[in-house]
Amino acid sequence: MDYTLRELMTICAAREIKNGDIVFCGTGISMLAAMAAKNINAPDSVIFFETGAIDSKLEDIPLAVADPRIMYHTSANGGLMEAFCTMQNPMSGARIVGILGAAQIDLYGNLNSTVIGEYDAPDVRFSGSGGACDVASFVSRSIIFMKMEKRKFKKKLDYLTSPGFLDGPDGREKAGLPPGGPDKVITDMGVMGFDEHTRQMFLIGCFPGITPDQILDNMEFEIRTDRAVEIAVPTQTELTLLREKCDPHGLIL
């Protein structure tokens, strides 16, 4: 079957979303994954934006989290205060799944979306946290999109923007953060999870044609690969709904 890597990654993320989940999404592929879940496997999931829109109809794909397309046919149009309070509140926060991306990730799923190099004199400056640090601090689990490259899977981050498990199993508790943390990392070569005891990243599975060694070759740190299986490819139904219902004009795919 013909599909692109981007389509496969989007479908993999969508499959992680269940009915009843409240899905926080950012821009680009994360927004598309939330739309795909809603159209394919989790029609009763709720799409939610940090800008304050909740349960947007999304007749047309938004290109930013402040796109007016997210304001149409919502349960409520609020503002940033409402959105972040919904995440910080443990009653609603426990139902929220965050979808994030970053420039760098480490073994414990901490993310950098701020700088490469020194903070005061960066080699490369990125957008910064936006709401990502808030989401990573508050919500029960997050799904992270990453491209497999050595310079992105780092032993030590240049800047820790958004907390994963920080330095280990009790990292979040020591720092004073609520429980939660990263759940899956979806890359262009396979999918990773986090061990429930060590909180370290491990390989869940490879995409067709990819070996665990190829994945390790694209990381600066080692992860366990002994539990890896092959990831199921998208079905025709998944692909059709993704292409025709979610992004018919190919704005993100």
Partner 1 sequence: MKPEDNKVMQLKDAVSKYIKHGCHLSIGGFTLNRNPMAAVYEIIRQKTRDLHVYAHSNGQGVDELIGAGCVSHLEIAYGGTGKFMPTCIRFKKAVQEQTIIVEDYSNFQMTLRFLAGAMGIAFLPTRSSLGTDIINKWGFPKEFRKQHDLIPNQKLVVMDNPFDGWCDTKKVVLVPAITPDVTIIHVQMADFRGNCRIEGLTFADVEQAKAAKRLIITCEELLDDDYLKNDPDRNQIPFIHADAVVKVPFGAYPTACYRYYDYDAAYMNAYARAAKNDDAYQQYLAAYVFDCPTHTHLLDKVGRGRVESILADRNRGYAKNLDRK
* Interface residues toward partner 1, by CB under 8 A: 27-28, 50-53, 59-60, 62-72, 77-81, 84, 87-88, 90, 110, 114, 119-134, 137-138, 159-163, 166, 171-178, 249, 251-252
Q: What is the CA radius of gyration of the chain?
A: 17
Q: Which is nearer to partner 1, 88 or 214 (CB)?
A: 88
Q: Which is nearer to partner 1, 20 or 168 (CB)?
A: 168
Q: Are 127 and 113 in contact (CB under 8 A)?
A: yes
Q: Which two tokens stand for residue 196?
A: 């429930």
Q: Which is nearer to partner 1, 62 or 193 (CB)?
A: 62
Give me the least distance between CB of 39 and partner 1, in Å please: 19
Q: Which is nearer to partner 1, 161 or 187 (CB)?
A: 161
- Residue tagged active-site, from 7, 16, 50, 238: 50
Residue with token string 């704005």: 251
Contacts 24+ apart (CB under 8 A), 178-182: 178/90, 178/93, 178/137, 178/138, 179/140, 180/93, 180/138, 180/139, 180/140, 180/141, 180/142, 181/109, 181/136, 181/141, 181/142, 182/109, 182/136, 182/141, 182/142, 182/143, 182/144
Give me the least distance between CB of 98 and partner 1, in Å please: 13
- Told to judge if 238 belongs to the known catalytic residues of this protein, a careful annotator would answer no
Give me the least distance between CB of 219 and partner 1, in Å please: 22
Residues with catalytic roles: 50
